[in-house]
A = this chain, B = another copy of it.
Amino acid sequence: MRGRPRDPRVEEAILRATLDLLAESGYTRLSIEAVARRAAVSRPTVYLRWRSKAHLVHEAVFPDMTAEELPVPANATFAEDVRHLVDGAVVYLSRPEVLAATPALMAEFADDPQLHRLMAARLDDRIRARLREHVAGAVARGEVRAGLDADVLLDAITGSVLFMLLIRPADAHRFAGALTDLLLHGLLTP
C-alpha cells in the first residue's frame, strides 16, 4: 500500500450524504455536486472512489455486506420462510432510499453494463445462492414441489413487491399476505 492512505471518514460521509439526499430528493435530483457539498468533500474526491452517480448510489443502498445480511430465515416450515421473505421484501424495499434507488439503477443498466453485472452479481452471491440451497432442502423434505426454480421464486417475490410499491403503494399493507398465498397455493381451485 503506497501513498497517503484514504481517510475512512471521507467514505463514510459521502455514503451518509448520499442516503440522506436520496431519501430527501430522490435519485434524479441527487447530484454528485450536492453529495460532495453535503459531505463537505470536493467533487474530485467523490470521483476518486466511484465512477458515476449510479455506482455511488449502488454502493450506498446495496453495500457489499458479508454474512450478516437478512437472508432466508429458517422457520419450522418453508411456507413460513416464504411469508418472512415476502414481508422482508416489503419492509426493505419500502425504505425511501431503496425505493428511490432501485428503479433508477435499473434504468442505468442500458448505459452501464458494468453496473448491471455488479448489481446482478451482488444479488446472486448474497441472496440467490442461499435461497437455492434452501429450496433444495425443502424439496428434499417433500415440502415443495420438485422442479421449483429458486431464481424464479426470488424474481417473483422481489419483482412483484417492487412493482406494487412503485405503482400503487396504497395497497402495501394488504399485499404481502395476498402474494404469499398466491405463491404458496397458486390461483386455481384445488
Interface residues of A (CB under 8 A from B): 25-29, 78-79, 82, 99-100, 103-104, 106-111, 119-120, 123, 142-145, 147-149, 151-153, 155-156, 158-164, 166-168, 171, 175, 178-179, 181-190
Contact = CB atoms under 8 A, between A and B. Distances in A.
30 contacts: A26-B107, A27-B107, A27-B110, A28-B110, A29-B111, A78-B187, A100-B107, A100-B110, A103-B103, A106-B167, A107-B107, A119-B167, A120-B168, A123-B167, A143-B188, A145-B185, A145-B187, A145-B188, A145-B190, A147-B181, A152-B164, A152-B178, A155-B163, A155-B175, A156-B156, A182-B186, A183-B186, A183-B187, A184-B186, A186-B186
Nearest to A167: B120
B152 A189 contact: no
Q: Most chain-B Cβ atoms within 10 A of its Cβ — which of A26, A78, A161, A186? A: A186
A183 B107 CA distance: 27
Q: Most chain-B Cβ atoms within 10 A of its Cβ — which of A28, A155, A162? A: A155
B178 A184 contact: no
A188 B144 contact: yes
- Copy tally for this chain in the complex stands at 4
Q: Most chain-B Cβ atoms within 10 A of its Cβ — which of A144, A149, A158, A163? A: A163
A189 to B, nearest CB: 5
B28 A187 contact: no
B167 A179 contact: no
Contacts of A184: 186-188
Given A111-B26, A183-B187, A149 B163 contact: no
